[in-house]
Structures are given as C-alpha cells and as structure tokens.
C-alpha cells in the first residue's frame, strides 16, 4: 500500500477510537465535565496528563526548533521539562488538596474577592487562547500533509474534529481519549526515530545514536557541525543567542508551566491527594520518553534535509519535497535560474561575499521552509516504509488534538463555572451550566481556528508566548497563595494585572507593532519576556500586600491547612 492508503487507514482507525471513547465517556454532570468525576486512576491520569502536556509544540515543533536552532533550541527542551517537575513537586499536590475545579476557583477563594476571580478568568482565557492557536496550526500542518490539501483547509478540518469530541465528552471524555492519544503519539514519535537511528548509525536507541558514528566513521554531531558551517550557519552544537535571553526563555517556559490552567486541572481528576502525586510521577516518566528522543530526531532530520536537497537539481528532488510543496509550507524559488536548489544562510555576510558570490548564488532559494514540518517529514526524508510515515501523521494529529481539547475545556470552564456559576448567575442549574460550557467550547474552537489559519509564528513560539503570559500572571499568585499567609487580594490582583499587561504589551509590540530585535529590553526576546513580567508581578505583589491590610484569619487558616500533610489521603471538597 502507498503512503496515502496507509495514512487513511491508520488515521481513520485512531479517529474512530477517539470518537468511540468520547461517546462512551460522555459527561453527564458538571463534575464529570470539569474533572472527569474525580475518579481517574493515577496511571491513566499520568498518561492523559502526558498527552495534554505533549502538545503540537512538543511533537511537531520542538524537534523542528532544535533541528534549525541547534544548541539554542535546547532552551525549549529544558524549560518544558523543568517546568513540569516544578509543577508536579511544588504546586500540584497543594492545589489538589484545596479541592476546587479550576485555577480561577483557587484565586477567587484564596484572595476572597470576585475581582481576583475575574482577573484570573481573564488571565486563563488569554493564556489558553494563545496556546490553543498554536495547536490549531499544528492540526493544520498534520491534516494538510495527511489529506494533501492547503494548510488552511487542514485547519478547518481539525476544528470540526476537535469541536465534536470536546463538546460531547467534557473532561471525562477528553481524559480517556487522551490516554489513547498518548499511546498513539508516543509510539508514532519513537518508532520512526528507532528506524532512522538504525539506518544512520546502526544503533536502535536514538538517544545514544545521535552521539554515534556514521558508516564512514564520522561522528554524527561532527558531521552535522561541518554541514552547517559549509552552508554559512553556526556550528550546530554552539550557542548563537545572548545568554540572558536563553536564560529568560528557559525560565519563562518553566514558570509558565506552573501556571498553565489546563495542566493544573489534571490533578483534580484523581480521587486523592496521594494519587495526584503518583499521577505526576507517572506523567513525568511518560513525558521523558518523547522528550529524550526529540534531540535525536532533530539531529537525524537536519542531517538528512541538508544532504538530500542542497544544490540538487529541482527536477530531481525527492518525493517528500513535492508533497510538502503542495501544502504551501515548503516553497522553492529559483533566484539564479540554474535549475538547482541553493540552501544556505544568506544573512551571513561573510559567506555571501565569498562562497555564494563565487558560485553565482543569489540568495537562499528555499524561501519558505516551515520548521513545523520537520518531524512529520523526517520518515519520508529517510525513505522509511509507508506505514511508518502514516503513523507519524497520526501521532502529530493526536498531539495537537489532545492539548487543544484540554485547553478548550479550560476556556469553557472559565466562562461557565467561574464567570456564570460563581459570579453572574449563581442560581443557574447544573443542566444550564453544562449547556453554557458546551456553547463556550463551540465558540472558542471556531475563533481559535480562525486565528490558527493565519498564525503569528511557528507553533513552539506561539506556545512560548502562552507560557510567558502564564508565568507573568498566574505563577506569583499561585506560589504566594500557597506559601505566604500574608499575601492578600490587593497584592495578588495588582501583581497579576501589571504582569499580564506588561508581558502582553511587549509581545504584541515586537510581533505585530513593528518592533525590531535591536530594541529588545536587555536583549530579551518576546519568548523570554514572561520572566521579567513574573519578577515584576512578584515584587509588586509583595510590596502591595505589605502596605495593605492582611487577609482575614479564616483565609490564613485555609493557607495553613493546604500545606499541612495531615489528612492528605483524601482531598476536601468545598
């Protein structure tokens, strides 16, 4: 069977599985819709958390970033991994013991005012919507290759699929669907990596293979370093960005993780606080499988891309090149009309003035090469069997759809539970609240699809913006809400507003307002500015809380009870 037939078969079977699970696990109550009834087994919750965590940014874009950025791409790998550890060890058990459904619930109760709840809802919507736009782009990339259609058409199809099972199943349906999606995406990511590792360095373990030697005896990374230099790029294993920016991006990703509403809510779906800790540990193990494989996939793919298309006759390009050209995500322009592809760093003036000029090259002729296609294209580039290529497409779809569904649930719960039930319409019936939640998802998925149709950047960058917004708004409010009894509503609300506005303004200015990199504050990019926003939030929160009245005694006692392990075997429900 050819690639198209295998793709329809494997993707069709996985989608039938997802939809079947969504129907079987349809939510019948608000508790099932928001937290899956609170009875999910820790191992299953660990799988669902890992699927929720390993979004299109992890599956599609992280290896693509490392592939193009080399050393600098490690900031995404380190930031997301370290962030999950921070969340699992420092925050999740305490939030689970608090026993509320959502992060705005925690903020509203801890800071004893509807104003704090409203600010938290706005932050949750801002963060989740930014994040889900990245997932919609990932869905579009995968569907465009799978169906051989334009990227925009792929986005529209993805919107329809997410709409169906997210609206129908709520958290209960999404949880069990994500268990299946975890299995699909992990298998799909690792199997091709094993094949390519055997093919290139004769080692079935990709994590070791990228440090091995090729058939001619050349070390894999040394070969890639030399290929990069020959094309005017930096050494693959050397840094290129300012160290302060590398630090800030990594920190923003770590701290933003701890404030991501769709990940935090996962720890409310298990029966006990002890189970929250167990599921966090299982999730970390499951996440490590993909995250330790991603750098190897990046190294193999980058090497294969360079060797398969550099200075090759366009008429003789491999089939994968033509396939991705049809999606609009890869485009060649013969600038010197010699019929060959020249792929090099035309921003390197020294290289352009020497090598490129001498050879008559007139610019990098791959005028469009979307980084997000690298992972999906890597099995085709390596000429792997058709079923392996189809499996990778199914995995990319699973990664994007699983996180998109979780984020949409956060958006819906923020509106129906935190805004309507807890504020505007306290007497709304359970049936009415459930209807409002489903309507909210429906509206959110359509709007996210429209934004994903014309995204502002590649998937991981969009997701990095979401993490920065979460770090600058939620992280100080949550961490101080747990560990500082003196933190009051005035400090938390002021800090969240200033942190969010500062970070959002910086990102919007440099991405949409005409700002240039030479104007960056202390050389910090928009992806890393969330770290500065978080520090600003933290300092302002502490200062304001110390010059305003302390929180009520009842709130201080509640903070004490959250941290005390006594009675941790079963979380209290409020």
The CATH number of the domain holding residue 130 is 1.20.1730.10
**Token pair listed for 398:** 């699973």
DSSP 8-state class, residue 38: G
Report how far residue 413's alpha carbon sits from residue 407's, in angstroms, rounded to the nearest whole number.
Answer: 10
Decide: 116 and 487 in contact? Cβ < 8 Å: no
353 domain residue, yes or no? no
Name, in order, each residue with C-beta under 8 angstroms of 332's C-beta and a sequence gap of 6 or more: 314, 321, 325, 341, 365, 366, 367
Report how far residue 484's alpha carbon sits from residue 473's, in angstroms, rounded to the nearest whole number.
Answer: 17
570 domain residue, yes or no? no
**Token pair listed for 92:** 């999740």
What does residue 272 show for φ and ψ, rounded to 5 degrees?
-130, 165
Decide: 147 and 135 in contact? Cβ < 8 Å: no
Decide: 379 and 342 in contact? Cβ < 8 Å: no
Decide: 294 and 62 in contact? Cβ < 8 Å: yes
DSSP 8-state class, residue 217: S
For position 93, what pLDDT does the model report? Answer: 74
Report how far residue 114's alpha carbon sits from residue 125's, in angstroms, rounded to the nearest whole number.
Answer: 16
**3-state DSSP of 66-126:** HHHHHHHHHHHHHHHHHHHHHHHHHHHHHHHHHCCCCHHHHHHHHCCCHHHHHHHHHHHHH
DSSP secondary structure, 225-283, as one string = HHHHHHTTPPPTTS--S-HHHHHHHHHHHHHHHTT-HHHHGGGGSSSSHHHHHHHHHHH
Opening angle at CA 541, ends 535 and 546, nearest 5: 130
E strand or H helix at 157, and its extent? helix 151-201
Side-chain-facing half-sphere of 562: CA atoms under 13 Å: 28
**Token pair listed for 129:** 């919507």
- 513 CB-contact burial (10 Å; exposed 0-12 / middle 13-18 / buried 19+): exposed
pLDDT in tens, the chain (574 residues): 777 788 888 888 887 887 787 777 665 555 555 555 456 778 888 888 888 777 777 787 788 888 888 889 888 888 888 888 887 777 777 777 776 656 777 888 889 888 888 888 887 777 777 777 777 777 777 777 777 777 788 888 877 877 776 665 555 667 777 788 888 888 889 999 999 999 999 999 999 998 888 888 889 999 999 999 998 988 899 888 899 999 999 999 888 876 666 677 777 777 777 777 788 888 888 888 888 999 999 999 999 888 888 778 888 888 888 888 888 888 889 898 888 888 899 889 899 999 989 888 888 888 888 888 888 888 888 888 888 888 888 888 777 777 777 777 777 777 877 778 777 788 888 788 778 877 887 787 788 778 777 766 656 667 778 888 889 988 899 899 989 999 999 999 999 999 999 999 999 898 878 888 889 999 999 999 999 999 999 999 999 999 999 999 999 988 888 776 544 444 444 4
Positive or negative, the CA dihedral 382, 388, 391, 395 is: negative
The closest of 448, 540, 459 to 502, measured between CA atoms, is 540
Positive or negative, the CA dihedral 61, 238, 190, 43 is: negative
Decide: 333 and 365 in contact? Cβ < 8 Å: yes
**Token pair listed for 491:** 């400090």
DSSP 8-state class, residue 62: I
Report how far residue 7's alpha carbon sits from residue 387's, in angstroms, rounded to the nearest whole number.
Answer: 7
Distance of CA 145 to the CA centre of its chain: 20
**Token pair listed for 190:** 């690792």
For position 263, what pLDDT does the model report? Answer: 73
Report how far residue 260's alpha carbon sits from residue 262's, in angstroms, rounded to the nearest whole number.
Answer: 6
307 domain residue, yes or no? no
Q: Which domain holds residue 437?
A: 3-302+376-563
Report how far residue 375's alpha carbon sits from residue 67's, in angstroms, rounded to the nearest whole number.
Answer: 9
The closest of 510, 535, 573, 494 to 115, measured between CA atoms, is 494
What distances in angstroms separate CA 336 from CA 315, 360, 366, one per listed residue? 15, 7, 13
363 domain residue, yes or no? no
> Which residue do the tokens 């970070």 mark?
503
> Which residue do the tokens 């990932």 mark?
138
For residue 516, the tally of other CB atoms under 10 A from its CB is 7
Considering its fold, how many domains does the chain have in total? Answer: 1
């Amino acid at each position: 069977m050819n690639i198209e037939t295998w793709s329809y078969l494997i993707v069709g079977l996985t989608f039938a599985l997802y939809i079947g699970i969504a129907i079987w696990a349809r939510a019948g109550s608000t508790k099932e819709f928001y937290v899956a009834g609170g009875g999910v087994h820790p191992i299953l919750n660990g799988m669902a958390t890992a699927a929720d965590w390993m979004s299109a940014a992890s599956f599609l874009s992280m290896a693509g970033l490392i592939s193009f950025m080399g050393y600098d791409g490690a900031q995404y790998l380190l930031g997301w991994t370290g962030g999950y550890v921070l969340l699992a060890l420092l925050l999740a058990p305490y939030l689970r013991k608090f026993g509320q459904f959502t992060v705005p619930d925690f903020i509203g109760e801890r800071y004893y005012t509807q104003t704090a709840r409203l600010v938290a809802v706005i932050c949750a919507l801002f963060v989740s919507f930014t994040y889900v736009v990245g997932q919609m782009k990932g869905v579009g990339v995968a569907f465009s290759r799978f169906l051989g259609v334009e990227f925009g058409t792929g986005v529209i199809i993805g919107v329809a699929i997410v709409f169906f099972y997210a609206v129908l199943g709520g958290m209960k349906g999404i949880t069990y669907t994500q268990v299946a999606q975890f299995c699909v995406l992990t298998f799909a990511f690792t199997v091709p990596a094993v094949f390519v590792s055997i093919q290139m360095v004769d080692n079935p373990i990709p994590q070791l293979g990228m440090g091995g030697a090729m058939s001619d005896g050349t070390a894999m990374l040394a070969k890639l370093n030399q290929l990069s230099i020959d094309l005017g790029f930096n050494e693959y294993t050397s840094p290129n960005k300012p160290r302060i920016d590398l630090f800030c991006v990594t920190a923003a990703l770590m701290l933003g993780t701890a404030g991501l509403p769709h990940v935090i809510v996962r720890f409310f779906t298990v029966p006990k606080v002890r189970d929250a800790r167990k599921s966090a540990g299982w999730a970390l193990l499951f996440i490590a499988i993909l995250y330790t494989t991603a750098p190897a996939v990046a190294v193999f793919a980058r090497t294969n891309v360079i060797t398969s298309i550099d200075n090759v006759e366009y008429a003789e390009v491999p089939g994968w090149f033509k396939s991705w050209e049809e999606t609009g995500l890869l485009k060649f322009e013969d600038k010197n009309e010699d019929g060959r592809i020249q792929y090099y760093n035309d921003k390197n003036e020294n290289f352009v003035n020497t090598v490129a000029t001498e050879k008559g090259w007139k610019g990098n002729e791959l005028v469009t090469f979307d980084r997000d296609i690298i992972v999906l294209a890597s099995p085709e580039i390596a000429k792997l069997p058709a079923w392996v290529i189809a499996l990778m497409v199914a995995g990319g779809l699973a990664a994007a759809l699983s996180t998109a569904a979780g984020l949409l649930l956060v958006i819906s719960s923020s509106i129906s539970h935190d805004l309507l039930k807890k504020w505007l319409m306290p007497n709304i019936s359970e049936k009415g609240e459930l209807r409002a939640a489903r309507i909210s998802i429906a509206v959110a998925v359509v709007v996210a699809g429209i934004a994903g149709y014309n995204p502002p950047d590649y998937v991981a960058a969009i997701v990095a913006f979401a993490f920065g917004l979460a770090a600058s708004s939620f992280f100080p409010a949550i961490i101080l809400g747990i560990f500082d009894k003196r933190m009051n509503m005035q400090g938390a609300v002021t800090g969240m507003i200033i942190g969010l506005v500062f970070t959002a303004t910086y990102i919007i200015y440099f991405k949409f307002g005409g700002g240039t990199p030479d104007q960056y504050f202390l050389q910090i990019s928009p992806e890393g500015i969330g770290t500065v926003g978080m520090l600003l939030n933290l300092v302002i929160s502490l200062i304001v809380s110390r010059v305003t009245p302390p929180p009520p005694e009842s709130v201080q006692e509640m903070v004490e009870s959250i941290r005390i392990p006594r009675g941790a075997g079963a979380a209290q429900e409020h």
